[in-house]
Structure 1
Amino acid sequence: MTDDDAIPPRRMARWPWAWACAVWAAAWLLMLGLDKHIGLAQAAITLVLASALAAIWLPTLASLATTTLAVAAFDWFLVPPKHAFAVELTEDMLLLAEILVLSWVVTGLLARGRVLASRARRSARHADQMRRLGDALRDTEDPLRRGEALRASLQDLLGGPPRLLLLRNETPAPADDDASTTLGDPSADDLVGLWHCVRLCRQFGPGTGHEQELPALYLPLRGTEDEAFGAAMIAVNPAEPVDDEVLVQAQALCDQMGQLLHRARTQREAESAQARAQGQAVRNALLAAISHDYRTPLAAIMGAASSLRDQGGKLAPEQRQRLAQSIVTETRQLSRLTDNTLQLVRLDAPGVQLHLDWESPDELAGVAIDRARKHHDPERRIKVWAEPGLPLVRCDAVLFSQMLENLIDNAMKYSDPPAPVELTVRRHGQHIVFAVRDNGPGIEPQWREKIFDVFQRGDWRSGSSNSAAQRGAGVGLAVCRSIALAHGGELRLRQPAQGGSSFECWLPEQDSPGVEDRESTLDGGRP
């Protein structure tokens, strides 16, 4: 950049020239009018002052030329002998040389000051532009709005409307339009150049040193030194290359967008890797838990079956009955573990479809109680109470019954006989609440937020002597929570003041159909 390039266009306007002419006219009137009253030294100071003031408005070359002419005129009109370029005294020759050099130095310093001031203003504008673009990029997560913010900044800097190519994920195959987004309606030729810029990760066009004959400037959106996440194209005049500072600023704006896209991709990859690691950890823990918990019932079944096979004739009827009952009990434990595991996997899968129908809360509770009484100690008391006049609930009867049975099984494990287990169904506001309460020792405070997580079991209650409490893969309550969430409800834990624990499924109440509507639904809508 030269000194004149730093001068804004307004310096060349009519009025700045007029101000410079006015300064010189006033200076000459003063020097000629006071020629007989002041010496050459005072007149010389007036000339230097006029040269410095005129240099404020005049371009550098014009100021130097004007100062040189003014010194020559000073010699002609004021230095003896007057009206001649000859000089009588040596000190007058030295004075003229000093005036000329001093005026040139002042002019040069003012020109340098204008250059520095212009660069400072430009740097401030560029810094402000970078800040405003950064704010605009942070204020939105929409890639299209971010691209529009970059287009606005480039247009403000270069004048022409930019066209952008933004990659969505990793660098795709050449010209893979499905993996990119364009802004500004680039033509087919423009897209070829944009993809070329992305592949090379290098700027080209007028002023870049590469393919300068092109009628457009191509800038990569660099996220790293050798990888671009898009490209920008701005039409320019090849005969007028872009200024180096402007080109650096334009590339900095593009790199700011590229670094943001790179950070977004890195974050997505980190989240994906974390999700895969967590999924692998869950699978490993599930396999380990299932393998461990299958071992005990299988060993019991194997031992009982081997005894019946090898020593069945020697055993008393009571012994054979006890071994057969052991096989039935352990098989039921395996079945429950398998059902819970399969339901947990199924409910966590995306797009799961439930078989919903209108069911009676009384019937759901009754089915769960009947199954619990058959599968557990018949001497244990299981109480059930349902509020009269409850509306129908829309649910998957199989899943919902499994949830209630899991809650009852959990309550019986963690409370010792003959303490009863209670199942109540009531209406609370706009919810139907299914609550299973035990009279066990309760749950330690530090475990009350963890009990619904997978593989949490056994040690979150204290004081229970029931050995069955230590069995299971720790997925029962996790399955119950997943079933409640799948029905739009919520599974809560409440600690009654009387002791024990109450697990409550809060199911939103819905407008149930009338009898005719329900029959029509059950018949598939056929008349």
Structure 2
Amino acid sequence: RSLWRRIVLGSIVDALVRESGEIDIYVVSGEREAEPVKPAWVRPRPPDWPAYGLALGVVGLCTAIAWVTFPHVGLSNLIMVYLLGVVGVATRAGRGPTALASVVSVAAFDFFFVPPYLSFAVSDTEHLITFAVMLIVALVISGLTVRIRAQADSARQRERRIAALYAMSRELATTRDVDGLLETALRHLSEVFPGQLAVFLPDDTGRVAVRRTHPSQLPMDASELAVAHWVYEHRQVAGLGTATLPGARALYLPLVGSRGAVGVLGMSPAEPRSLESPEQLHQAETFANQMALAIERARLGEQAQRAEVRAEAERLRNSLLSSVSHDLRTPLATITGASSSLLESGELLGEATRQELLQSIHREAERLDRLVNNLLDMTRLEAGGVTVHKEWQPLEGVVGAALKRLESRLRDRPVRIDLPVDLPLVPIDAVLVEQVLINVLDNAVKYSQEGSPIDISAAAAGRVVTVEIADRGPGFAAGDEERVFEKFYRGGAAGAPGVGLGLAICRAVIDVHGGKMWAENRPGGGTVFRFTLPLGESSPDIPPTDG
């Protein structure tokens, strides 16, 4: 018990000893728990001298008003003037200035308006009761007014913090990456608790490190990092203004989600008393809880995204293995069978049969070559290992080179070419664009009937050349116009040869040239592939040719 309670009510120990009789009682005092040293911002405030000056000024003004009206009104009305002044002081100042205004008002009323005038002496003892009632009423009214004003201020601050918390929560709900949500959270938190803010997140070793600060870096050294790590491990508030590690220069709050601690929030307030009350500290903890949940949600989202990427990679790997194994096995079986027949019965076979077997070997070897080249090209394009060497080239030369390489594939397909004589030179990597033409033409051969025509045309419009390759195949199913450019997608013809990389390579090559590639169904049946090639700022002139 405190000293005055022991004096008034007595000591429990003394009463116990008196009533113990013959029982021996031993009293062992416990160690007094050392109270933490309070930081400067929780110690009593220095006097607010301007507020005290305001209190005296208001009392002086009330005295002047009462002096002017004194000949015409009674003393009770003058008391109302002073009480009104006390209420006015209470709406602007704290308890100290208001109490001073109450006491000085009673003194001024006695000195100026109670006989004998201009003296503190009291001739009638009834006036003492008046003074006492006046002082009590003034103190009660001022106390109630100060309390109401404090409650109103607290309500406004609470409303502002709740609004900031709601705005932060709403913005965090639309933010997915950790750095973005930390920046958002600290920005909203600084509006309520101005000062230096920082978020500590654990690194790969499990030690916390500064991940984000706002608006500037916290004063940080090894001891501050140690406090932050202690808070992360023990999930308890510590640092400035607390009983745990009070020597720290900032207040540290744990960021605890549903699965444990995810980090630490450090706060060094610019306004020392912004975290003075338990309510303010609770508001800071509420912000910290929202930040912890947002960080946890973002990390779960990142984990889900990584899992989705791994699943997609596994799906692509399985598709690649399935397609490659099928498309390698078929030509290899043909090559093996034909070469075995030549080795075992070459002399017994006729010349026509031997030529047919040799052509079969050559055809399947070319097919293997295209397959392997497509795989290598896709790998290089995705890894950024393809360097584009652009030179001004005539498009008809690139088309002719592609047709030459596919001569055996196109032997039973009439190819109709429509290239204007005045078609400008185009800045391209001829090797890559030639591969685009080869892949599209090979695709047309795969999905169209023997004897059906293939049309190749080009036209210049503005600073762009558009190339078009059309066939009379079955066309696209609804929605496949864009999907055909996805890796390993082969449309409805799953039995067609290839692994579904050719068109994906084509779009990637056209993209690195700065153009666009798309596909659509052809009127009257079939498909048409189009791609654009930018001409740049200016084109070189084509020298005239004789004849």
Question: How does the TM-score come out when normalised to structure 1?
Answer: 0.70
Partner amino acid, structure 1, of 2:370 = R
SS at match of 1:374: coil
Query: CA distance change for structure 1 residues 147 and 316 in 2, over 3 Å: closer, same or farther?
Result: closer
Counterpart in 2 of 1:39?
none
Counterpart selection for 1:283 from 306, 311, 317: 317
SS at match of 2:479: helix
Partner amino acid, structure 2, of 1:497 = P
The answer as to 2:195 corresponding to 1:195 is: no
Q: Deviations over 1:57-106 (max 9, x none)?
A: 35657878959x97xx9xx99xxxx967699xxxxx9x999999988776
The answer as to 2:449 corresponding to 1:416 is: yes
Counterpart selection for 1:57 from 89, 98, 106: 89
Query: CA distance change for structure 1 residues 129 and 369 in 2, over 3 Å: closer, same or farther?
Result: closer
In the alignment, structure 2 segments of 5+ residues that lack a partner are 1-43, 116-121
Counterpart selection for 1:184 from 189, 211, 216: 216
Counterpart in 2 of 1:40?
none
Counterpart in 1 of 2:510?
484
Partner amino acid, structure 2, of 1:475 = L
SS at match of 1:373: coil
Where do 1:320-469 residues align within 5 Å?
A: 320-350=354-384, 352-376=386-410, 378-459=411-492
Counterpart in 2 of 1:497?
523
Deviation at 1:453, TM superposition (A): 1.7
CA distance in 1, matches of 2:250, 2:240: 6
CA distance in 2, matches of 1:241, 1:447: 61
Query: CA distance change for structure 1 residues 380 and 156 in 2, over 3 Å: closer, same or farther?
Result: closer
Q: Is the 2:168–2:184 contact (alpha carbons within 8 Å) kept by the matching residues of 1?
A: no
CA distance in 1, matches of 2:146, 2:420: 94
SS at match of 2:266: strand
Q: Is the 2:240–2:247 contact (alpha carbons within 8 Å) kept by the matching residues of 1?
A: yes
Q: Deviations over 1:94-128 (max 9, x none)?
A: x9999999887766644543332232133234345
Deviation at 1:218, TM superposition (A): 3.4
Counterpart in 2 of 1:119?
154
Counterpart in 2 of 1:219?
252
Q: Is the 1:150–1:253 contact (alpha carbons within 8 Å) kept by the matching residues of 2?
A: no
Counterpart in 1 of 2:498?
472
Q: Is the 2:391–2:429 contact (alpha carbons within 8 Å) kept by the matching residues of 1?
A: yes
| Percent of residue pairs identical | 27
Query: CA distance change for structure 1 residues 444 and 140 in 2, over 3 Å: closer, same or farther?
Result: closer
Deviation at 1:366, TM superposition (A): 0.8
SS at match of 1:389: coil
CA distance in 2, matches of 1:458, 1:248: 60
Partner amino acid, structure 1, of 2:156 = R
Deviation at 1:311, TM superposition (A): 4.5
CA distance in 2, matches of 1:494, 1:136: 41
Deviation at 1:50, TM superposition (A): 7.2
Query: CA distance change for structure 1 residues 425 and 107 in 2, over 3 Å: closer, same or farther?
Result: closer
CA distance in 1, matches of 2:403, 2:381: 24
CA distance in 1, matches of 2:327, 2:184: 58
Partner amino acid, structure 2, of 1:418 = G
Deviation at 1:407, TM superposition (A): 1.3
Q: Is the 1:364–1:397 contact (alpha carbons within 8 Å) kept by the matching residues of 2?
A: yes
Query: CA distance change for structure 1 residues 390 and 229 in 2, over 3 Å: closer, same or farther?
Result: farther
Deviation at 1:210, TM superposition (A): 2.1
Q: Is the 1:387–1:426 contact (alpha carbons within 8 Å) kept by the matching residues of 2?
A: yes
CA distance in 2, matches of 1:136, 1:218: 25
Deviation at 1:479, TM superposition (A): 1.9
Q: Is the 2:199–2:213 contact (alpha carbons within 8 Å) kept by the matching residues of 1?
A: yes
Counterpart in 2 of 1:522?
none
